[in-house]
Amino acid sequence: MLKRKRLLITLLLALAVLMSGCSLPGLSGAADNTIKVGTMSTSESQIMGNIVRLMIEHYSDAKVEMVNNLGSSIVQHQAMMNGDIDISATRYTGTDLAGALAMDSVKDPEEALKIVQREFLKRFDQTWFDSYGFANSYAFTVTRELAGKENLKMVSDLEPLVSNLKLGVDNSWLKRKGDGYQGFVEEYGFEFGKTFPMQIGLVYEAAANGKMDVVLAYTTDGRIKANDLQVLEDDKHFFPPYDTSAVARNDVLEAHPELEGILQKLSGTISTEKMQELNYEADGKMKEPAIIAEEFLEENDYFETKK
């Protein structure tokens, strides 16, 4: 009986492997002409993933399949290495320096980009494209009103007022090593009057309602715009850069020579403010990322005129 069971399991596995190679009409295209784009579960990642998909569909005959809801950058990386996906839509320089590459963080955004581009080519044979033009990092944020009244533009501008200010941050940042509060105090040389840890989703409204004076926000979150907040420039480059790019495997780029040019068209096209807007469409206005991406590209004519 054991023998028969083993035979059955082998058969099942063989069938599974066989099936993973085939394509079902209506669900997936032929394997050699299908490009798989992986995204994370954030709205931002899915919007960018759909933009990449629509760009490829617009400029080439290749079929694109979306693999949504990958858990994190590391999962994306593993899926790339396994061949489950061919392109990851959003990869952040700071995240992958620490994650996939296990290197120390680098403060200068351009240098960080250069390092990941070089290392990904060398270690994984993958191409890390130039940034889309936005970065999703931490940023000190105040109401537009306060910024106007006190003429705040950079984080250093906070120094004279700081002892009277209440700071709202997400739960982990205060105790975090490296780019946490401790490091911040050392780098900028001042401390806030009071700090309040809270859920990241609450900081935007807390600032808008005047419960907090300064909050630490995620820069591409649409709620910055929705609550009319202003981001202060991190003038000492304390936070590591989280510039966002697409990453593709080189064997895929070779199989589809037109792909590289298509992805390059997207570099530098979306500012952090624009990404806030797009994210807000998804998070605040209940639009699906696929629809937002389509509208965005139609508005910009699929970047036809960009070289």
* Contacting positions for other proteins (CB under 8 A): 8, 13, 15-17, 19-20, 22-24, 26-28, 36, 38, 41-43, 46, 65-70, 79, 82-85, 201, 282-283, 285-291
E strand segments, the chain: 34-40, 63-70, 87-92, 126-128, 138-143, 166-170, 194-198, 214-218, 229-231, 244-249
Q: How far is the CB of 150 from other proteins (least distance, A)?
A: 30
Question: In this complex, which beta carbon is closest to other proteins, that of residue 65 or of residue 157?
Answer: 65
What is the smallest separation between the CB atom of 112 and other proteins, expressed in angstroms? 27
CB closer to other proteins out of 38 and 241 = 38
Minimum distance from CB of 283 to other proteins (Å)?
Answer: 5
Whichever of 154 and 291 has its CB closer to other proteins, that residue is 291
At its nearest, how many Å lie between other proteins and the CB of residue 63?
13
Query: In terms of CB distance, is 21 or 257 closer to other proteins?
Result: 21
187 vs 283, beta carbon nearer other proteins: 283
Min dist. Cβ of residue 110 to other proteins (A): 32
Q: Which of 245, 252, 268, 256 is nearest to 117 (CA)?
A: 245
Question: Can you state the angle between helices 43-59 and 258-265, rounded to 10 degrees?
Answer: 130
Q: Please tell me what DSSP assigns to residue 136.
A: -
Residues facing 87 on adjacent strands: 37, 248
CA dist., res. 76 & res. 39, Å (int): 7
For the four alpha carbons of 118, 120, 125 and 131, in that order, the dihedral sign comes to negative
- The rounded distance, in Å, linking the Cα atoms of 158 and 15 is 64
How far from chain centre, in Å, is Cα 255? 26
Q: Which is nearer to other proteins, 148 or 201 (CB)?
A: 201
Burial class from Cβ neighbours inside 10 Å (0-12, 13-18, 19+) for residue 80 reads buried
- Least distance in angstroms from the C-beta of 256 to other proteins: 19
Q: Which of residues 82 and 305 has its CB atom nearest to other proteins in the complex?
A: 82
Q: Within its chain, how far is the Cα of 257 from the centroid?
A: 25
To other proteins, the closest distance from the beta carbon of 4 in angstroms equals 8
